[in-house]
Structure 1
C-alpha cells in the first residue's frame, strides 16, 4: 500500500516541474506518453490486491472504473454518425489506457494520438 501511495506525490511533483518549466502542451505530451499511460494503468490494476475474507473493495473499485470507461466509450460510439466523423476526446489520463484499447479493438474506428499533432 505504501508503494502505491508514494507514487502519487512523485507524479504530482513531475507534473509540477513540467508546468513550471514548460507549457500545457508539454504536460499533455507527458501524460499521453506510453510509459505514463502504463504507470497509470498499473496503479489502478494494483487495487486488485485489496481483497480478503470475502470482501473485494479493490476489485470492486476496478469494476466500477472499467464500467465508467466502457460507458465513456459507449457515449463516444453514440455520437458518431458516419465513418467520416472525427471526434476529439478529452479525459483525464487515467482513462487513456482503456479508451485506447476500446478504440483499437473497434475495426471501424481509427485512433489518432495526441503525439501525432502536439509536437
Structure 2
C-alpha cells in the first residue's frame, strides 16, 4: 500500500501542475447569512460595471479552461440554464420570467457568479461554468456559543464578539472607500486569507468543556465543506486543462489555498499578476 501511494505521488510530481487563479471575494448580493455582517456594495453602478469589464477582460487573457463557482454542485442544471441565457444575450428577460419574485431577481442579477464568472467565461469563450459548492454540512454556531456559556468561557465569548466586531468595522470601511479592484486585491492578500481562518482555529475550536466537541465539530464541518469543494475541482479538471478560475467567498479561499499548496496537482496564480 505504501509503495502504491509512493508511485502515485511520484507520477503526480512528474506531471506539470495546472494553474489555479483562486479569487476570494465578498458576496456582491449580500444575504446577511455570514457570521460577520457587512454592508452592501452596489456592483450595478456604471463605475463598478466598468471595473468588472476590465477585471474580466484580464481574467480572459489568463484564459482559464474551466471556471468554478460557489453554487450547489447538485444544481448544475440550473446554472447551465442561466449561463445559456447569458451567452444568448437574453439573461435579464430569462431571469425576470423564471424568478418573478423581486428578491430572487436581485440575486440572479447582482451576485458575483453572474457579474464576474459569467462575464469572464463569455470573454474566454467557455461553454460551461462549473458548480462546486457542497453545502450539506452542519455549521451550528449557536451550539458552539452555548458550549462556551456552559463551560463559563467568558473571555472566549468576548473574543468572538471583539473579533467579529473588528472585522465588520474594518470591512465596512473598505467597502465604503475602496474600488472593486482594490477590494479583491486586499481580500486575496496572503495575510488577510490567513487571518480569515483565525476565528475558527484560534477561538471556535476551543469552545466547550473537555468532553464537549461542539467547537471542533463546527471547524471540522467548515473544513469538510471546503475539502469536498476542492475535490470537485480536482476531479473535474482533466489532463487537457491547464488553467482554472476558482471564484469563492473569501472564507473559502483561505482554506482552499491550504489544499492547493499542500498538493502537487496545481500551483496558484497570483491575482495581482493577473490584474496588473
Give the structure 2 partner of residue 59 of structure 1: 216
**Offset at 1:53?**
5.1
Give the structure 2 partner of residue 15 of structure 1: 171
Distance 1:83 1:107 in 2: 16
**Offset at 1:108?**
2.4
The answer for unaligned runs of 5 or more in structure 2 is: 1-156
Q: After superposition, give the CA deviation of every residue in 1:25-59 in whole Å (9 maximum; x if it has no partner).
A: 11111111122112111111021110315221101
**TM (normalized to structure 2)?**
0.40
**Offset at 1:21?**
1.7
**TM (normalized to structure 1)?**
0.88
Q: Calculate the aligned-residue CA RMSD, in Å.
A: 1.6
In the alignment, does 2:241 pair up with 1:101? no
Cα distance 1:6–1:118, how it changes in 2: closer, same or farther (>3 A)? Answer: farther
Larger helix percent: 1
Give the structure 2 partner of residue 111 of structure 1: 268
3-state SS of 1:55 partner:
coil
Larger strand percent: 2
Cα distance 1:41–1:79, how it changes in 2: closer, same or farther (>3 A)? Answer: same
**Offset at 1:88?**
0.6
**Offset at 1:83?**
5.1
Which structure has the greater CA radius of gyration?
Answer: 2
Task: Trace 1:18-97 onto structure 2 (pairs within 5 A).
Answer: 18-45=174-201, 46-52=203-209, 54-82=211-239, 84-97=241-254
The answer for unaligned runs of 5 or more in structure 1 is: none
